[in-house]
Structure 1
């Protein structure tokens, strides 16, 4: 059986010890963009992440990775509530605000308290209110696994498009696809 895979690509091996080069390789994976928020004794905290994923539907679990070097790390690498906000393509400024170092990210930022006091940002495509269940040390990051207690999503429509990150830049979803996929070789 032969499966068409498209035009061949030229590849160059990258030394995995070179963090900058490895980052460029990892940047070939398109991701959504999210902001995670939490309330602390020092006020609301938040940071932009693109390392967010669904883990399980039963029980409902999600994860994100928090850099231990981040000034916001302590707000998330602990038991307690947090919220994940999936950003739309019109929310680049929100992403940039919550990614900026040394900035009071909530200064002038509108939010409402969630059921457990977690700051919830307006106009996100989806919001998942969670409680951290596990924090796993992984290299220079901690992986935070949270149980989803409440989930909301924007009403579907033409303006409901996610903000994407690819190759070190923000990107948009295109509804155009230049070909059909022939699934027949795989349906045996």
Structure 2
């Protein structure tokens, strides 16, 4: 049986869900971002208990088919941007469409209608969060980050970063350095 969970976007979330399933005596076959496959058929009582437990962790069981589809789209995007090193080789619309076996236009329309932003805007927000993360790690140059996240140029990345955050990538990096300097002075 397959169960869908909203806001399950990290490895920690997966661990929490797996533990709660075990507490209910259910056996997890496969667990992905936003999707759990269990061996048994879940009873209404078990589903209710699971739902209550997950809410305490900020997670939510999904029943509405449109919401489930939105969560699937979000999970594919999060996985691509945050957990894949293959992002520069992928066309987002084709990948999402292929992964979910739906026409991209259909997915884009539902996503925009339900979330109030386009899939493209959602991808950009996640890419910028990933850029911030990579800048804070300070392991890659801006050129390497732009290549990794499939930007056409450093200028394109910088322009998009400034549009979303109000800061240039280099200024964002300096703010981090200033914070560390201030912490060292304590």
TM-score, length-normalised on structure 2? 0.25
Higher helix share: 2
Question: Quick check: which one's strand share is greater?
Answer: 1
Structure ranking higher on relative contact order (CA contacts 8 Å, 6+ apart): 1
